[in-house]
Amino acid sequence: MPTFRSGDAQLSYEVAGNGPDVVLLHPFPLNRHFWDSVTPQLSTRYRVTLPDLRAHGDSELGEGPVTMQKLADDLSRLCSQERISKAFFVGVSIGGYLLFEFWRRYREQVAALVLANTRPGAETSEGKADRLRLADRVLHEGTAGFLGEMLSNRRIVSRTTRTNRPDIVDAALMMMQCMSADDIAGVQRGMAERPDSVATLGTINVPTLLIAGEEDSIPLSEFELMRQQIPGSRLQVISQAGHYAALERPAEFGALLRTFLDGRLRR
């Protein structure tokens, strides 16, 4: 598995297929295997790059909080490593947060965006305090309690997935368990400080697809805000899916991606 150095961390990634570049960015606290059932739908026509974000999977934490600025710089260095001059970028949850920052810093590298199960706003004061408390808690108590609570959240994975596909819940837990207490604390502290990106929405002038889960933990109003503010963007909602829609409903998610990406190539 290839790696590269970004500042104070060694980061891991995989590449599959050949063709125009697509970069897939997973949610917290999972890793590149989040995309295992989606990648084969894309790699027949595209070169798909799948990083483990800093502190996730096989990638190191480095020093201090995992800020969106660090993640955006990591992504730019990955593009340099793989000689990606321009790509289609797909980000889920924290993957979307970092893409707002990446757009502000490196928009010349962006051919199109897919923002899935994410929101543009900064953390609320209450949400920030919760994230900082969780960071302290996992450092004192370990990760098991926090991860169990995450998976018990009915909107992280949908009721249908929880009832009919317990294997998907188990797969998510296995990915989560790759993160140490330090990793989780570093990412929580970084997300607590993420900048507000609402003002950035109106500057996005590349084709943009928005994807929500019908039972997402993020309200549909957040996606409607993005749809209204990003010129020409389209919103798709996947039924019987929660916050991890691509893991829960990979065929539907992959079909939406493939249709969107293939449409960009035909123009």
Ordered by where they begin, the domains of the chain are: 3-265 (3.40.50.1820)
CB 217 within 8 A of CB 245: no
Q: What is the predicted pLDDT for the residue at 142?
A: 97
Backbone angles phi, psi at 14, to 5 degrees: -130, 160
Q: What is the pLDDT of residue 161?
A: 93
Specify the pLDDT at position 36. 98
**What pLDDT, on a 0 to 100 scale, did the predictor assign at position 255?**
98
Question: Does the reported pTM lie above 0.85?
Answer: yes
* Contact predicate 221/198, CB 8 Å: no
Kindly state the percentage of the chain with pLDDT values over 70.
Answer: 100
What pLDDT, on a 0 to 100 scale, did the predictor assign at position 267? 64
Examine the pLDDT at 266 and tell me if it is beyond 80: no
CA 138 from chain centre, in angstroms, equals: 22
- What radius of gyration do the chain's Cα atoms show? 17
In this predicted structure, the answer to whether residue 153 has a pLDDT above a threshold of 80 is no
User: Quick check: 115 and 91 in contact, CB under 8 A?
Assistant: yes
**Predicted confidence band of residue 151 (pLDDT cuts 50, 70, 90):** confident
113-137 pLDDT, tens digit each: 999 999 999 999 999 999 999 999 9
**Model pLDDT for residues 6-58, shown as the tens digit of each residue:** 999 999 999 999 999 999 999 999 999 999 999 999 999 999 999 999 999 99
- Burial-class residue 235 by CB neighbours within 10 Å (0-12, 13-18, 19+): middle
pLDDT tens, position by position, 63-116: 999 999 999 999 999 999 999 999 999 999 999 999 999 999 999 999 999 999
* pLDDT given for residue 135 in this prediction: 97
What pLDDT digit, counting tens, does each position of 175-211 carry?
999 999 999 999 999 999 999 999 999 999 999 999 9
Residue with tokens 């757009």: 103
Quickly count: other Cβ atoms within 10 Å of residue 84's Cβ.
19
Instruction: Kindly report the number of other CB atoms within 10 A of residue 17's CB atom.
Output: 17
pLDDT of residue 265: 83
